[in-house]
Amino acid sequence: MDSATAFREAFRSSKHIVVIAGAGLSAASGIPTFRDGGGMWRSLSATALATPEAFEANPSLVWQFYHYRRTKCLEAKPNSAHQVVAKMSLPAQLRKVAPEAKSFHLITQNVDRLSVDTLNALVNVEASPSSSTADTPTGDKPTDKKPQKRPVFPNSILEMHGPIFDVRCTACDHCEEDRTDPLCPALGAANASFANYTDAGTKEINIPLADLPRCRACGALARPGVVWFGEKPYYLDEINSIVYKADMCLVIGTSSTVRPASTYAYRVQRHGGKVAVFNLDPSEKDEQADFVFRGGCESVLPSLFPELA
């Protein structure tokens, strides 16, 4: 039996499926990866840009960098790997390839929202306009045009590093998603002067504090709503119980040697579950995985799961 057939068979009998995703999932959408070849942190300093201390020391530089990344994320389109994984969140779709599936979760380290946007597009089905009520004399929306929603596994996507579009207050608890681009005129002008991520993370523009994004609730300085190095990722308790229950773990686009993917996959295996690794580059712990698939996940996943492509 070849490994694709063996994997599909194991997947078919699994009940609690979890996907651990990293930057490789979004690479084909043009979002740069971090540490591997061409990775963003090769030319930029994570400690100067992605820590609470960095923001404290130079909020302008940190905002420039995150604002540039936001703009790139807003321009990015989901790829076919996002599609396959998003369809797994729909019980009717997942059961085509895993008939006994009882739960599905995507634990993603990505902040680009592409998985969430893909799933939302699948879940919200536009009701077809009914001819009898399409033209109401009052101009009110006919009630039967209310969008229908496809059933979805509950809380199926956990963005452990937050979404990059969240703007969080540094003083109060206020946090909101804001996809306005630019977020403020000063950051828009800064964006226009950057040719690439390295520019955005190194050019000293020195935007005054008053011209950086402010909290809509209290007016204090706001920060990007992502989780930085040294901060606690979101949903750790939920993730622990998901991993504890999982009998099938797909590690997609993240090195299986880097925490937390390595610990989660190991824990699934330790209680008898299977682990499948999907990555461009080999990594040390691949040999511990039950299945390893090399190549871009945007082509490997649709070929393994044509039912979900």
174 in active site = no
**Residue 127 or 218: which CB sits closer to Zn ion?**
218
Check whether 175 is labelled as a binding-site residue.
no
**Residue 158 or 217: which CB sits closer to Zn ion?**
217
Whole-number Å distance between alpha carbons of 49 and 290: 37
Give min distance, CB of 172 to Zn ion, in A.
Answer: 3
Whole-number Å distance between alpha carbons of 98 and 296: 23
β pairing state of 157-159 and 103-108 = parallel
Whole-number Å distance between alpha carbons of 240 and 193: 43
Check whether 215 is labelled as a binding-site residue.
yes
Check whether 184 is labelled as a binding-site residue.
no
Give min distance, CB of 168 to Zn ion, in A.
Answer: 9
Give min distance, CB of 222 to Zn ion, in A.
Answer: 7
Give min distance, CB of 216 to Zn ion, in A.
Answer: 8
CA angle 287, 288, 289 (to 5 degrees): 90
Give min distance, CB of 117 to Zn ion, in A.
Answer: 27
Whole-number Å distance between alpha carbons of 53 and 49: 9
Check whether 249 is labelled as a binding-site residue.
no
Q: Which residue in 176, 183, 174 sits closest to 73, CA to CA?
A: 183
Site residues for Zn ion per CB under 5 A: 169, 171-172, 174, 215, 217-218, 220
Whole-number Å distance between alpha carbons of 208 and 286: 48
Q: What are the b/e assignments for 91-103, b being 16+ CB within 10 Å?
A: bebbebbbeebeb
Say if residues 301 and 84 touch (Cβ distance below 8 Å). Answer: yes
Say if residues 255 and 261 touch (Cβ distance below 8 Å). Answer: yes
- The DSSP string of 52-109 is HHHHHH-HHHHHHHHHHHHHHHHH----HHHHHHHHHTSHHHHHHH-TT--EEEEEE-
Give min distance, CB of 213 to Zn ion, in A.
Answer: 11
Catalogue the E-assigned strands of 115-273.
124-125, 148-149, 157-159, 166-169, 175-177, 222-224, 248-252
**Residue 9 or 56: which CB sits closer to Zn ion?**
56
**Residue 99 or 219: which CB sits closer to Zn ion?**
219
Handedness of CA 36, 22, 59, 180 (dihedral sign): positive
Selected catalytic residue, list 16, 82, 105, 161:
161
**Residue 10 or 175: which CB sits closer to Zn ion?**
175
Annotated binding-site positions: 169, 172, 215, 218
Could you list the active site residues? 161
Annotated binding-site positions for Zn(2+): 169, 172, 215, 218
